[in-house]
Amino acid sequence: MGLSDTGRRRPLLALAAGVAALSGGGIAFAQQGGASAAGDFAVQAEQGGAAFAQNCAGCHGADLTSGRFAPNLKGPVFLAKWGGRPLAELHAYFSSAMPPNNAGGLPDDTYAAIAAFILKENGGTAGHVLTAGTLDGIALPAAPAEAREESGVGGLSTRLYPLPPGPKRPDRFARYTPVTEAMLDDPAPADWPAWRRSHRGLGYSPLDQINTRNVGKLRVAWAQSLPPGVNMNEPLVRDGVLYVFGFGDQVFAFDAADGTMLWRYQRKLPEGAAANSKKTIALYGDKLYAATSDNHMVALDARTGRLVWDVVLTDKPGMRNPGGPLVADGVVMQGFANNTPGGGLIVAVDAETGKPLWSFETVAKPGQPGGDTWNGLAGELRKGGSVWTSGSYDAETGLALWGVGNTYDTAPLRDLKPGLNNDGLYTESTLAFEPRTGKLVWHYQHQKNDQYDLDWVFDRVIGTLTVDGKPQRVVITGGKSGLFDALDARTGRYIKTVDMGIQDYIDRIDPVTGDKHVKPEKVPGRDKGPVFVCPHGGGGRNWSPTSYVQATQTLFVNARDVCMDMVPAPGNAFLTTGVNIRYAAPPDSDGNFGVLQAIDMRSGKVKWEVRRRQTPDMGVLTTAGGLLFTGWMDRQFVAYDQASGKELWSSGVSGVPNASAITYAVDGKQYVAMVTGHGNPLSLGIPDVLPETQLPPVNSSTLYVFALPD
């Protein structure tokens, strides 16, 4: 599709690269439409003809059949594939993918008019002006029987010397069955169907084909470029299909064995909506769920990528949703980050219909439980409590577990007023909900009145831990401080804290309640001089998820061992106590700021530690093959011996390894996959500390998949 601004026609590959899409293949998209200015269908179709001549005829031909670069869009061959199908399917594709040099860039009413023109040229009609929202009830005319017999002949091929058939590909969806709660709690060994592989958030795989003895032979099996831009998505895999979120609110399904694209969905964002990435997408039943950059939730058919429903989750200003959805008990839950008055939010909708079920404000207001913990601050002024990591789900207790962040509005909470409480619920807390009702069953605040931007908003691991000689089901989570709390999964009762050894501002922890006592001299403010604190508010254990190996009760975690000067600042400051924060090396630092640790959660001792000059930027993956995978800011993806921390293999990649790696198997062969595309907070700031750390000049995004040679 396309004429240049000067009127000179440009040869474009239009739909040639997407012949499968326009001939009944698997690419599916969606867009939000606007109304045409035309008065009736005939006038709209005429306008569509003019738009087609300007934008499409160069590839498809002026008569829709004589193009050199793209398939026919009318006639028996076209209808053999598209006849009887909803016009909405065709419109959804080209309104998001065309023209190739300006995909989705034409006005909504222009795309609708082109759809009207194609419908009319194929002998169809409509009793009204077409818009994106009125296409589902309109089908393209059915093809005659003789056309169906010739359906293999298209506008780009000849009957004289027909193309020989290609190799037969496996149909990855032929035996598709709905994803169940049991599958998400305890997945098949070959699959990775949820964020951190299962609802329990372990980040561990039972696969062992790739192991400590042969990992040195690992090589790229296949790779796919994803839309350029920020990407921190952890892919999902089920029954040989890999699903991944791409920049610009696109979702892809690939054959997980060779990278062949099976379908693609692209949302057309409204004007002014800034595209961002998500840590995860979710599978449940026969659907895939993705949060969008304009704060909607979409449900896609997991087999085709076609839109099933699309709902607004919130219209509150300032809301962001980088975590991604958790789906359990037939409910889709999504957390929101926000630093404007009102605080964060968790929203739940029905997984089958998208019907709203409940929402929970993570900053308690007056009159609500916990509403009296804000030092007397008016409810409409309270900020913080962002939720920017997805939750976990414990099938044994039936509870969804979510982490909540801090507040940057630290000044109203810093100094306790007589007779009041300044804990600031529900900041820095774990919240346990009944998914269907939204009832808050229990909560635990890991750090009261955080004055440092040292969140506890990360992954919640559900596992078994030996406590007083007996196995106990626990929730394990840590904050940027490098402190990890273990709680009773059923009640939220505090059990213990383990310290990585990278913090210096907490001097004691109550053994019964887990309350963490802050050294008075470490409390910052404009009324003080500079205060030195470890770790940095953007450092410590931050953003990237951990991995827990149940058999050894070992937690694997990476961190940035950097500290901060909290410096008084005039006017607006990063924290409202009147301080900005500056990076600083720890005392007696050896210049190695990247840390990888194995922590025995039973004893609380660090079993081993690896230090690197460069800092980590992705989460941790562990496997039954004795391996640990993670990645670093120098664009190295590395495998370690889980038992010792010894480096066994590494591979340079084109961009910062920004998302957690996964592993899966297809047809008996194990693969390891990871995504690049810097943009999470771990890729920021450190280049100011380590001058040799350079972000790639182009923020490309690539899906890499590694395997052993056959």
213-250 pLDDT per residue, tens: 999 999 999 999 999 999 999 999 999 999 999 999 99
Read off the pLDDT of residues 532-565 as tens digits, 9 standing for 90 and up. Answer: 999 999 889 999 999 999 999 999 999 999 999 9
How far apart are alpha carbons 395 and 63 in whole angstroms?
59
With contact defined as beta carbons under 8 Å apart, do 705 and 223 qualify? yes
Residues in Cβ contact with 180 at an 8 Å cutoff, skipping those fewer than 6 apart: none
Residues in Cβ contact with 316 at an 8 Å cutoff, skipping those fewer than 6 apart: 336, 338, 342, 345
pLDDT at 29 over 50: no
Percent of the chain with pLDDT over 90: 76
Residues in Cβ contact with 152 at an 8 Å cutoff, skipping those fewer than 6 apart: 162
Peptide bond into 535 cis (omega under 30): yes
Please name every residue paired with 508 in a beta bridge, in sequence order, or none if there are none.
Answer: 517
Looking at residue 156, what is its pLDDT?
A: 58
Residue 187, helix vs strand vs coil: coil
Looking at residue 3, what is its pLDDT?
A: 29
Looking at residue 158, what is its pLDDT?
A: 64
How far apart are alpha carbons 193 and 664 in whole angstroms?
10
Q: Is 212 exposed, middle or buried (0-12, 13-18, 19+ CB in 10 A)?
A: buried
Looking at residue 147, what is its pLDDT?
A: 52
Stretch 8-23: mean pLDDT? 30
How far apart are alpha carbons 58 and 8 in whole angstroms?
11
pLDDT at 154 over 70: no
Give the amino acid at 98: M
Mean of the per-residue pLDDT values of the chain: 90
Looking at residue 22, what is its pLDDT?
A: 33
Residues in Cβ contact with 339 at an 8 Å cutoff, skipping those fewer than 6 apart: 318, 383, 384, 386, 407, 408
Looking at residue 23, what is its pLDDT?
A: 31
- Measured from the Cβ of residue 571, the count of other Cβ atoms closer than 10 Å reads 5
Residue 578, helix vs strand vs coil: coil
- Measured from the Cβ of residue 514, the count of other Cβ atoms closer than 10 Å reads 20
How far apart are alpha carbons 107 and 38 in whole angstroms?
14
| Residue 89: band (very low, low, confident or very high) from pLDDT cuts 50, 70, 90 | confident
How far apart are alpha carbons 142 and 139 in whole angstroms?
8
> If you average pLDDT over each of 68-72, 91-95, 161-165, 323-327, which comes out highest?
323-327
Bin 706: left if φ > 0, else alpha if -120 < ψ < 50, else beta: beta
Stretch 163-183: mean pLDDT? 93
**Tokens found for residue 699:** 């923020």
In terms of Cα–Cα distance, which of 565, 569, 562, 512 is closest to 541?
A: 562
pLDDT at 26 over 60: no
Read off the pLDDT of residues 42-60 as tens digits, 9 standing for 90 and up. Answer: 999 999 999 999 999 888 9
How far apart are alpha carbons 48 and 362 in whole angstroms?
49
Q: Where are the beta strands (DSSP E) in 449-571?
A: 461-467, 470-478, 483-488, 494-499, 506-509, 516-518, 531-533, 547-549, 554-560, 563-568
Q: Which helix or strand (DSSP H or E) is residue 223 part of? A: strand 219-226
Looking at residue 101, what is its pLDDT?
A: 72
| Residue 336: band (very low, low, confident or very high) from pLDDT cuts 50, 70, 90 | very high
Read off the pLDDT of residues 396-451 as tens digits, 9 standing for 90 and up. Answer: 999 999 999 999 999 999 999 999 999 999 999 999 999 999 999 999 999 999 99
Looking at residue 235, what is its pLDDT?
A: 98
pLDDT at 21 over 70: no
pLDDT at 34 over 70: no
Stretch 383-407: mean pLDDT? 97
How far apart are alpha carbons 95 and 536 in whole angstroms?
46
Q: pTM to 2 decimals?
A: 0.89
- Going from the C-alpha of 560 to that of each of 25, 366, 414, 538, the distances in angstroms are 46, 38, 26, 9
Q: Which residues of 18-48 are buried (b: 16+ CB within 10 A; e: fewer)?
A: bbebbbeebbbbbbebeebebeebeebbebb
| Residue 6: band (very low, low, confident or very high) from pLDDT cuts 50, 70, 90 | very low
Looking at residue 11, what is its pLDDT?
A: 27
> If you average pLDDT over each of 28-42, 612-626, 675-689, which comes out highest?
612-626
Q: What is the DSSP letter of 86?
A: B
Peptide bond into 471 cis (omega under 30): no
Structural domains of the chain in order of their starting residue, each with its CATH number: 16-149 (1.10.760.10), 181-262+279-707 (2.140.10.10)
- Going from the C-alpha of 42 to that of each of 89, 121, 375, the distances in angstroms are 21, 11, 66
Q: What is the DSSP letter of 695?
A: -
How far apart are alpha carbons 400 and 323 in whole angstroms?
15
Alpha helices per DSSP H over 56-191: 57-60, 76-82, 87-97, 108-121, 145-149, 181-185
Bin 155: left if φ > 0, else alpha if -120 < ψ < 50, else beta: alpha
Read off the pLDDT of residues 452-474 as tens digits, 9 standing for 90 and up. Answer: 999 999 999 999 999 999 999 99
| Residue 160: band (very low, low, confident or very high) from pLDDT cuts 50, 70, 90 | confident
Looking at residue 145, what is its pLDDT?
A: 62
Looking at residue 134, what is its pLDDT?
A: 82
Residues in Cβ contact with 235 at an 8 Å cutoff, skipping those fewer than 6 apart: 192, 242, 243, 244, 659, 662, 673, 675, 703
pLDDT at 31 over 50: no
In terms of Cα–Cα distance, which of 304, 349, 296 is closest to 321?
A: 296
- Going from the C-alpha of 556 to that of each of 233, 480, 549, the distances in angstroms are 20, 15, 8
How far apart are alpha carbons 386 and 221 in whole angstroms?
39
Read off the pLDDT of residues 487-528 as tens digits, 9 standing for 90 and up. Answer: 999 999 999 999 999 999 999 999 999 999 999 999 999 999
How far apart are alpha carbons 658 and 649 in whole angstroms?
19
| Residue 155: band (very low, low, confident or very high) from pLDDT cuts 50, 70, 90 | low
First-last CA distance in the chain: 43
Question: What's 632-694 look like in SS3?
Answer: ECCCEEEEEECCCCCEEEEEECCCCECCCCEEEEECCEEEEEEEECCCCHHHCCHHHHCCCCC
